Structure 1
């Protein structure tokens, strides 16, 4: 079974479903047993969802202000409900 360090490296492939099923099952087993990795993966899921929603209406980089960046960072740090 992968350890926590392995899980950090596997996060993107796991969330994108881009790993063989047997490795996915091992990762899933670890996630069921490890609250820290579950929290990390939850944060990764939220980050990916937020970034996808932003890219749909993303202005050119030259139009992004510091306050826009701060708003995104605040949203990322909001507790999940």
Structure 2
């Protein structure tokens, strides 16, 4: 079983949720998440976000105005 640091776990959350880790990685991931309150909480937050976003119909699109405001905010944040 591989041992993970918190940083490594964060990098692999989506792979874990997509069931893309091999067995030793998956077991190490689960062991760390079970023993580290912060990482366990972050995993729960990812699951909740995915569950909440899954309630939107796939064809739902952002309005042009909303998209433009978000893109402007992202660009401003990078600078």
Partners of 1:11 and 1:63 lie apart in 2 by: 31
Count of matched residue positions in the alignment of Structure 1 and Structure 2: 64
Question: What stretches of structure 1 move > 4 A for 4+ residues in a row?
Answer: none
Match of 1:60 in 2: 61
Match of 1:49 in 2: 51
With the length of structure 1 as denominator, give the TM-score of the two structures.
Answer: 0.69
Give the number of the structure whose alpha-carbon radius of gyration is greater: 2
Could you tell me which runs of 5 or more consecutive residues in structure 2 were left unpaired when the two chains were aligned.
Answer: 67-79
Q: Secondary structure at the match of 1:53?
A: coil
With the length of structure 2 as denominator, give the TM-score of the two structures.
Answer: 0.71
How far is the alpha carbon of 1:40 from its aligned partner?
0.3
CA RMSD of aligned residues (A): 1.9
